[in-house]
Structure 1
Amino acid sequence: MKNIHRLQANLTRWRSTAATAHSPLSAGSPAPAAAAATATAAEDLEITNECVSAKPYSQVPGPTPWPVIGNTWRMLPVIGPYQISDLANVSYILYKQYGKIAKLSNLVGRPDLLFVYDADEIEKVYRQEGDTPFRPSMPCLVKYKSQVRGNFFGKLPGVVGVHGEPWREFRTKVQKPVLQPQTVKKYIQPIEEVSDYFIKRMQEMKNHKSEMPADFDNEIHKWALECIGRVALDARLGCLRPDLPKNSEPQKIIDAAKYALRNVALLELKYPFWRYLPSTLWTKYVNNMDYFIEICMKYIDDAMLRLKSKSQTVTDESELSLVERILAKESDPKTAYVLALDLILVGIDTISMAVCSMLYQIATRPEEQEKIHREMLAILPNKDDKLDSSKLEKMVYLKAFIKEVLRMYSTVIGNGRTLQKDMVICGYKIPKGIQLVFPTIVTGNMEEYVTECEHFKPERWMKQSTDYIHPFASLPYGHGPRMCLGRRFADLEMQVFLAKLIRSYKLEFLHKPLEYKVTFMYAPDGELKFKMTERP
């Protein structure tokens, strides 16, 4: 496969050289404007030729829709072969039946879904998407922010479930402080404190078999919310207190966020009728979102008052936290409010389910776990050693392990775009407005794009590896301007927690293997009764 890509690259260079050799400009100094115009003209000609030879959209293969209800019936309970909880397998089925492009058309209340399994074509779409790509995610959240709670969000709708110019303007305001490495480094020690306390709580949770409780995934959600609280609010929310009641506000935040996110697929694919009539599911969704905002705003209000008074005494910007940096630069404090809400809403379930998957893979892969442990012993010789940025940089194998889990068991089963212009994809002319799905859970496991894709090999992500990985085959955080804004913090939280846990404890899973299913994320489905044994 690598030879094919090298051949393609050489062919491209040969064409470029040949074009220059036959150009009148090649005899003298090149004229940049003329060269650029020539290149643009050649590109336009290539696109024109591609469109002329492309097959019509109507010929894209896919399941045949039924009269009136189209293909929506395929996602209905009992009679539908495409179940929401098995969307990862649905992606594989469409690929096996129809090849590298498949159309799920005539869906009630929404555009067609076009599944693209060609990494080169996925790259082409990403390269041409411009500054304001349209990601077809969570139209129900779009409606909630723009209509149901338009008076609250107004001109500051955030980055989740928002598109076009409003999205670009808001992201521009917040992306620099969120993505700056020095900002992320400030949270190594706070995230370590939360993780150390959670590991201590894990020891207290163990039963007589040294196993975690049946609802351990909810405890991981508490850890995730506590971490996000440190990042988004610079506060400890108290989520990990052993005496925390089941109806506590942190637990209610978790439950409301999980409900809102885990019902997106049901609202969009299985029961899309809320677009026309206020269904029971839609009403519950709105109520949960309202409740989520109401509770979160109490914590955010307290944080903002504290941070504003603190910021007046800090003159060195490097000492400011994420939220403080935004408050210092933005005249409207609601920018920080809305960012905090988005980070909490999306971060709880995504990070929690990713960590559940990481722990399950570590517990069921003893050889890889020992490699992580040996790496941690070298970096943290003493159990009480503290982390810093230089130590995190040395965790090469742990980071490779995380990447390999996300390749084989991507928590986000696919990324997507809504086409803003007509394009030719896989030889078909695809019209503007069609929603593209890039199933990274499939492309990341295709032999064509990943050497020995069926083998779990963290080493493939390390510098000395000779394995081939197509750069657009596995994109768990997306790509381009709409890449996950909180990815640096997500990586930090996973790396810190896993490093501290495996440094001092051995993890095992001594029960029947778990199947992976889709809630909002793709993760192990079942009780995570990990056995936790302290290492000498």
Structure 2
Amino acid sequence: MRSKLYNNIMRRIHHCNKSTLFQVLRFLSTETKFVKTFDEIPGPKSLPLVGTLYQYLPMFGKYKFDRLHHNGLMKLRQYGPVVREDIVPGVSIVWIFKPEDIEMLYRKEGRYPERRSHLALQKYRLSKPEVYNTGGLLPTNGKDWWRLRKAFQKHLSKVQCIKGYVDSTNTVVEEFIDRRIKRKGRTNDFGPELSRLFLELTYYVAFDERLQWFKDAEWDSDSECSKLIKAAHDINSAILKTDNGPQLWRKFNTPMYKSIIKGHEHIEKIALKVMSEKLTSIKTTDSKASLLEQYLSSGETDYKDVIGMTVDTLLAGIDTATYSCCFGLYHLSSNPDVQEKMFCEARALLPHNNTPVTSGMLERAVYSKAIIKEMFRMNPISVGVGRILPEECMFSGYRVPAGTVVVTQNQVSCRQEKYFRRPDEFLPERWLKGSVDYESVSPYLVLPFGHGPRTCIARRLSEQFLQVVLIKCFRLSGTLR
């Protein structure tokens, strides 16, 4: 198929004089020479029946499903900035690394951007039409996705709405600091602590309920808090493997699919209980409505849609925020200079240890914002974003047909020296106005929440959570020195 550029030039060729015609034909020969077909895209060798799955086998393969960023780096070094791979026979994935190609993907994603992910989760939900209308926001595509997105984003995309949750966030974080840091002292593994923090935050903001899950009793493996965290972790761990590995779960209840079912049924039970309670409280309370109450009373979605959104809120609120915060604190602990600057900002904003954080303070807290952005550059929530092409696209000279799954490799690209000065160093200063990197870095490299119509619906709320946690924890660190 000829490129649009080729066709446009050919339509005008009859207007050219001989000299111009010669130049046009010379350009066309060059353009045609450098445009390559889909079949010419380099990548790991695919074998009949097994695709490239053999390269992911434990002990024998060089790739690992749970190390996508390492896989991406190896593929970039071996094959270049555009890589084609048939992990499953007949399903091609194209990995792209250049910011120019990433920009092109977003510009061509269409009105209803489509993705291919959370497929096993979608299968489970669609098998229960008495509970769910769709697979939810994550796996659903087309007009069904837009119907859900349009209804749910109203309460999460407005800056003023998000600012309204600063007080409740501050309350939960202060209690966390008092119960789990001041009283308990040092700990070797802060991850489980943060999981409880972000679960409590999510529950409070989404459902306007406090669960008091910082108590010592909630650390028992049979506690409600521990079981909910484990369920979310099991589902999120299985989703990656069921999306990219053998699709046997489509025909059989494989161990990985059973793990999703078990975890999902537990979270689903909690979501149904909360919703049942909120349906009653909507009619009897005049207080500020929670997110869930706003969804239930909006009229734009029905009960089944809200069930899916409630489960998704719990899934995302536990694992992803914990992951991000863990890496952020790790980088801060490894960089004393950055720690000191963060402490100075926290002390300037909060004169006293018990001074509450306000939305106005968060706007002025430029260094904590820079830390969060640098944290997402080095350790984003996912390696990149996947899209199903609605039309043919050109990536670094290769034609990729409509219907192809294209996945960005932002995490790998963000560690390349050609795009970032000292890429393996944690340097929040690069995101401050006036720095060398501030204006020169492509805006399509650091995109932890995606971009465009399908950007993460809770992006602003997640960033606000992280900022409050950083400021409050570092204000405390000054008194514990």
Q: Same fold (TM over 0.5)?
A: yes
- Find the counterpart in structure 2 of residue 151 from structure 1: 130
- Say whether residues 1:330 and 2:302 are aligned partners: no
Match of 1:400 in 2: 370
Contact 1:114–1:437, Cα closer than 8 Å, also in 2:
yes
What one-letter code is carried by the residue in structure 2 that aligns with 1:371? K
- Structure 1 equivalent of residue 152 of structure 2: 174
Could you say what secondary structure the match of 1:120 adopts?
helix
Aligned match of 1:277 in 252, 270, 275?
252
Q: Residues 207 and 290 of structure 2 are in contact (CA less than 8 Å); yes or no, is this contact kept in structure 1?
A: no
Deviation at 1:334, TM superposition (A): 4.2
* SS of residue paired to 2:394: strand
2:117 matched to which residue of 1?
Answer: 137
Q: After TM superposition, give the deviation of residue 211 of structure 1 in Å.
A: 2.1
Corresponding letter in the other structure for 1:67: P
Residue from 349, 359, 362 that aligns with 2:332: 362
Work out the CA distance in 2 between the residues paired with 1:444 and 1:213.
29
Distance apart, 1:52 and its partner CA: 9.3
Q: In the aligned structure 2, how far is the partner of 1:179 from the partner of 1:307?
A: 23
The alpha carbon displacement at 1:275 in A equals: 2.1
Q: Does 1:120 align with 2:100?
A: yes
1:449-494 deviation line (CA, Å, top 9, x unaligned):
3344343221111122232211101111110011000111111111
Moved more, 64-73 or 173-182: 64-73
- Conserved 8 A contact 2:121-2:135: no
1:335 Cα deviation (Å)?
A: 4.2
- What do residues 294-338 of structure 1 show as CA deviations (whole Å, max 9, x unaligned)? 12321332234224422xx36xxxx54433333342263444433
Superposition pairs for residues 261-276 of structure 1, below 5 Å?
261-276=236-251
- In structure 2, the partner of 1:218 is 192
Task: Please report the TM-score for the alignment, with normalisation by the length of structure 1.
Answer: 0.79
Residue in 1 that maps onto 2:61: 80
Matches within 5 A, 1:82-481: 82-105=63-86, 107-108=88-89, 111-146=91-126, 148-154=127-133, 157-203=135-181, 206=184, 210-214=185-189, 216-244=190-218, 245-310=220-285, 313=286, 319-330=288-299, 332-467=302-437, 468-481=440-453
For the 8 Å contact 2:217–2:223, the answer to whether it is kept is no
Q: Does the 8 A contact of 1:122 with 1:472 survive in 2?
A: yes
Paired residues in the alignment total: 452
Greater mean alpha carbon deviation, residues 254-263 or residues 239-248: 239-248
The CA deviation string for residues 6-29 of structure 1, in whole angstroms up to 9 with x for no partner, is xxxxxxxxxxxxx9xx9xxxxxxx
What does the per-residue CA deviation read over 1:86-128, in whole Å, with 9 as the maximum and x for residues that have no partner?
22111100001111111112524x7222110111111011012
Q: TM-score, normalised by structure 2?
A: 0.88
Q: Is the 8 A contact 2:392 2:400 kept in 1?
A: yes
Letter in 2 for 1:414: G
CA gap 1:217/1:51 in 2 versus in 1, 3 angstroms: farther
Q: Counterparts of 1:294 and 1:52 in 2: how far apart (Å)?
A: 59
Q: Which sits farther off after the overlay, 282-291 or 470-479? A: 282-291
Partner Cα distance (2:182, 2:278) in 1 = 30
Conserved 8 A contact 2:200-2:210: yes
- Aligned partners of 1:337, 1:265: CA distance in 2, in Å? 23
Alpha-carbon contact 1:225-1:344 (below 8 Å) kept:
yes
Amino acid at match of 2:52: N
**Cα offset, 1:381, TM superposition:** 1.1
Render the CA deviation track for 1:354-390: whole Å, top value 9, x for unaligned. 1111111111111101000001111101111111111
Q: Distance in 2 between matches of 1:465 and 1:111?
A: 43
Whole-angstrom distance in 1 between the partners of 2:136 and 2:331: 34
Q: CA deviation at 1:224?
A: 0.9
SS at match of 2:95: strand
Structure 2, unmatched stretches of 5+, are: 1-11, 16-26
Change (3 A) 1:91 1:474: same
Whether the aligned pair in 2 keeps the contact of 1:201 and 1:242 (CA below 8 Å) is no
Instruction: State the distance in 2 between where 1:238 and 1:327 align.
Output: 25
Provide the C-alpha distance between the structure 1 equivalents of 2:252 and 2:355, rounded to a whole number of angstroms. 58
For the aligned residue pairs, the C-alpha RMSD in angstroms reads 2.4
Whole-Å Cα distance in 1 between the matches of residues 420 and 125 of structure 2? 40
The equivalent residue for 2:43 is: 62
**Aligned partner letter, 2:411:** I
Whether contact under 8 Å (2:103, 2:444) holds in the other structure is yes
Q: Distance in 2 between matches of 1:432 and 1:475?
A: 24
Counterparts of 2:465 and 2:297, CA distance in 1 = 26
- Are the aligned partners of 1:111 and 1:433 in contact in 2 as well (CA < 8 Å)? no
Residues 196 and 90 (structure 1), Cα distance of their counterparts in 2 relative to 1, 3 Å cut? same
Question: Which segment is superposed worse, 119-128 or 294-303?
Answer: 294-303
8 A contact 1:71–1:104 mirrored in 2: yes
The aligned amino acid for 1:296 is A
Who is 2:18 aligned against? none
Identity of aligned residues (%): 30
Structure 1 residues 455 and 246: CA distance shift in structure 2, 3 A: closer
Q: Distance in 2 between matches of 1:97 and 1:205?
A: 51
1: CA distance, partners of 2:79 / 2:209? 50
**C-alpha separation in 2, matches of 1:408 and 1:334:** 38
Question: Following the alignment from structure 1 to structure 2, what is the Cα–Cα distance between the partners of residues 426 and 439?
Answer: 14
Query: CA offsets, 1:181-223, max 9 Å, x none?
Result: 12111111111111111111223664xxx42144x31221111
